[in-house]
């Protein structure tokens, strides 16, 4: 048991000494490109909306919200409702208004499933 303690202690000292040197440079982690951050092909209507044939789900949500805010499409009396203009209707199944919780569900069919 003391051998294990001693070995662990020596190893941890070596790691600490190595971490204090300036010769070791750790590159910053790049963003993950898996799951909802993965850029995937989208439907023609969503591609036309974004002007790109591929987009990640997170970017799609962000861009839709930017569009909603820039065009003042939130219902002033109920901010949870989005009043769709002609451009949003093309990606939201022709609905006149949608709830903000529906947006992800309505965008989901536009993403091509990879299998």
Helix or strand holding residue 82 (H, E): strand 81-83
Mean pLDDT is lowest, of 27-31, 58-62, 93-97, for 27-31
pLDDT at 56: 92
Residue boundaries of the structural domains of the chain: 36-110
Question: SS3 sequence, the chain?
Answer: CHHHHHHHHHHHHHHHHHHHCCCCCCCCCCCCCCHHHCCEEECHHHHHHHCCCEECHHHHHHHHHHHHHHCCCECCCCCCEEECCHHHHHHCCCCCEEECCCHHHHHHHHECCCC
Task: Quickly count: other Cβ atoms within 10 Å of residue 30's Cβ.
Answer: 6
CATH class of 36-110: mainly alpha
- The token pair at 8 is 């662990």
Whole-structure pTM value: 0.67
pLDDT digit string (tens) for 99-114? 989 999 999 999 887 6
């Amino acid at each position: 048991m003391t051998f294990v303690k001693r070995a662990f202690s020596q190893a941890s000292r070596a790691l600490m000494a190595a971490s204090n040197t300036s010769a070791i440079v750790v590159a910053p982690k790049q963003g993950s490109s898996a799951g909802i951050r993965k850029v995937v092909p989208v439907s023609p209507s969503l591609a036309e909306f974004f002007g790109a044939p591929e987009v990640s789900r997170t970017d799609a949500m962000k861009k839709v919200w930017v569009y909603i805010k820039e065009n003042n499409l939130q219902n002033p009396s109920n901010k949870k409702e989005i009043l769709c203009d002609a451009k949003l209707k093309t990606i939201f199944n022709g609905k006149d208004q949608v709830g903000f919780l529906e947006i992800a569900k309505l965008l989901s069919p536009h993403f091509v499933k990879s299998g």
